[in-house]
Chain A
Amino acid sequence: EIVLTQSPATLSLSPGERATLSCRASQSVSRYLAWYQQKPGQAPRLLIYDASNRATGIPARFSGSGSGTDFTLTISSLEPEDFAVYYCQQRSNWPPYTFGQGTKLEIK
């Protein structure tokens, strides 16, 4: 089973700042990595798939990069609605599909 480790656990930033979230895989997942956003009381929402493809309707301030074992989600300029929990997920070696433990992006 591929283990995904996200860092940091919590990221405190202010609106307008740049956010950089990391996800590291226990073995190579090629580019088969996705990012999801989850707000309190809501279902997750797909942001990025195949490491760098934005899902439909996702603003351009969200971007993904990386391959192999190291991946990054970047939010170029934080909007108030971006404060949430973010999860990475792999589909390279399944079952099972696995998720990281999440990074909470909170307002500083």
Chain B
Amino acid sequence: QVQLVESGGGVVQPGRSLRLSCAASGFTFSSYGMHWVRQAPGKGLEWVTVIWYDGSNKYYADSVKGRFTISRDNSKNTLYLQMNSLRAEDTAVYYCARDLGIAVAGRGWFDPWGQGTLVTVSS
């Protein structure tokens, strides 16, 4: 079955870096766009970034632009999020999510989601 498993979260000091991973299985990873969505404790959902199926295009929320970098390794079925210059406001559960479909009609809907990994930025 389709599965997404995030890892790499933890406690990090402000200004430091962290890299998250999302291991995909059960589908043709190289055919789908992939997203990161985050949720601060007790808050709502915030889209963070997307990468095209082939890595050719990447887009970011203004709140992370210039600090976060999304990438993927289709040979390893793995999605990454490199987070630099972390701030307290980056504290959240980070979910990876797949585009619903490979055609344009299926892009921008998030299904399925991983279970999330918690990132805490604190001194």
Contacts and interface: CB of A to CB of B under 8 A. Distances in A.
Interface of A: 32, 34, 36, 38, 42-46, 49-50, 55, 87, 89, 91, 94-102
B63 to A, nearest CB: 9
16 contacts: A32-B108, A36-B45, A43-B112, A43-B116, A44-B37, A44-B113, A46-B100, A49-B111, A95-B59, A96-B59, A97-B47, A97-B50, A99-B44, A99-B45, A99-B47, A102-B45
Interface of B: 35, 37, 44-47, 50, 59-62, 95, 100, 105, 107-116
Contacts of B113: 43-45
Given A43-B116, A44-B45, A99-B46, A91 B95 contact: no
Q: Interface majority SS on A: helix, strand, loop or mixed?
A: loop
A95 B65 CA distance: 12
A46 B47 contact: no
Contacts, number: 64
A43 B45 contact: no
Nearest to B106: A49
B72 to A, nearest CB: 18
Given A44-B37, A98-B47, 18 more contacts: A32-B108, A34-B109, A34-B110, A43-B113, A43-B114, A43-B115, A44-B95, A44-B110, A46-B111, A49-B100, A87-B45, A89-B110, A95-B60, A96-B47, A96-B59, A97-B108, A99-B46, A101-B44
B108 A94 contact: yes
Contacts of A87: 44-45
Contacts of B59: 94-96
Contacts of B109: 34, 46, 49, 89, 91
Which of B45, B47, B60, B115: most chain A Cβ within 10 A? Answer: B45
